[in-house]
Amino acid sequence: MSVALLLRRLIGTLPILLPISLLLFCIVHLAPGGPLEVYADNPSVTPEALEQIRIAYGLDRPLPVQYLLWLKSMMAGDWGYSIRTGRPVMVEIAERLPATLLLGGSAMALSLLLALPIGVLTAALRRSTIDHLLTFLSFSGLSIPVFWLALMLQLLFSITLGWLPAAGFETIGDSGPLDRLAHLAMPAVVLSFATVASWSRYLRSSIVEVLKQDYIRTAFAKGHNFAGVLIHHALRNALIPVVTIISLELASVISGAVITETVFAWPGIGRLFVESMEGRDYPVLMGLMMLGSVSLVLANLLADIVYAVIDPRIRYE
């Protein structure tokens, strides 16, 4: 894929952020009480002071003007200030992002490590007892509510067995690599549960499709054994759609895991979102929603590109 083509895809994709930002802007400004509702509820803020804040935030201007001003400052990297802390939204988010990336990255790695062998195994042992069992488990993995799974793991491993800390990022004053790992274990497992289930299902059906192809029969006819054909001939092609699915999932690593981070008090941007919801901190909420949307759009683009790169049959002209 050439650089020019890459650039063209990028230019073709990015304009979608405009209607997204307009939609999000409208939602926040349609809120009952508007973005300054927190101040209105505060008895120590006089109506005059409120009026001053309104003017300072530019909320006295007409809505279209406000949107354009907001868009301009968003693009310039000025995402406004948090209502709760008064600090720049960018700083608030940047502080929380590493924890989210660590959790999301670990969960992705764990998912890959489990989904690959499960997918290959179930495809190889199609219609066996093991396949049925693992298929049932995948359905369960896709149907179990993450918040309940998290509670049950806390009950088992923290309260009953006492093996793992129930929540948090590290033990204050006593944190080392092992302590970090112990805190990371449960949230990462919870977060990877559904992805393991869906990725292994995709891989299984993808391998099953590929095994029907003529060139597989040829490989068998040439005398290769089953495992060899599966790994060397079938898996390479079967992975193409799966890699696309995985690239799409990258967005969730950046946009955070709202539920998992909340249950495990993980100091990432998913938890920041819930805290900002409770404090009606609209500038932070807008920043997080935009960040999530940008990562979704980029993940879509990445999936397209990866698809073209790994499959030479695909041509975007």
Partner 1 sequence: MNETGPAGPQSPGRLLLRRLLAHRPAVASLIFLAVLALLVILVPMVSPYDYDLQDLDLIGQPAHPDATHWFGTDELGQDLLTRVFYGGRISLAVGLSAALVATLAGTAIGALAGFYGGWVDAVLMRLTDVVLSIPLLPLVLLLSGMFQPSLPLLVLVIGVLTWMGTARVVRSQFLTLRELEFVDAARALGAGSGRLILRHILPNAMAPITVSATLAVGSSIMLESALSFLGFGVQPPTPTWGNLLNAASPWIGAAPWLALPPGLLIFATVLAVNFLGDGLRDALEPKE
Which residues of this protein are in contact with partner 1, per CB under 8 A?
Answer: 16-17, 19-20, 23-24, 27-28, 31-32, 136, 139-140, 142-148, 151-152, 154-155, 159, 251-252, 255, 258-259, 262-263, 273-274, 277, 280, 285, 288-289, 292-293, 296-297, 300
CA distance 80 to 70: 9
Q: Which two tokens stand for residue 215?
A: 């060139």
Taking the CB of residue 251, how many other CB atoms lie within 10 A of it? 20
If the CB atoms of residues 136 and 316 are measured against partner 1, the closer one turns out to be 136
If the CB atoms of residues 219 and 287 are measured against partner 1, the closer one turns out to be 287
If the CB atoms of residues 73 and 140 are measured against partner 1, the closer one turns out to be 140
Contact between 293 and 23 (Cβ < 8 Å): no
Helix (H, G, I), strand (E, B) or coil at 136: helix
Q: Which two tokens stand for residue 29?
A: 């400004």
If the CB atoms of residues 141 and 219 are measured against partner 1, the closer one turns out to be 141
CB of 213 to partner 1, least distance (A): 16
Query: Exposed (0-12), middle (13-18) or buried (19+): which is 207, by Cβ within 10 Å?
Result: buried
CB of 182 to partner 1, least distance (A): 18
If the CB atoms of residues 106 and 255 are measured against partner 1, the closer one turns out to be 255
CB of 316 to partner 1, least distance (A): 18
Secondary structure in 3-state letters for 79-128: CCECCCCCCEHHHHHHHHHHHHHHHHHHHHHHHHHHHHHHHHHHHHCCCC
If the CB atoms of residues 136 and 226 are measured against partner 1, the closer one turns out to be 136
CB of 225 to partner 1, least distance (A): 28
Supply angle C-alpha 235, 239, 242, rounded to 5.
Answer: 145
CA distance 195 to 230: 23
CB of 85 to partner 1, least distance (A): 19
CB of 151 to partner 1, least distance (A): 5
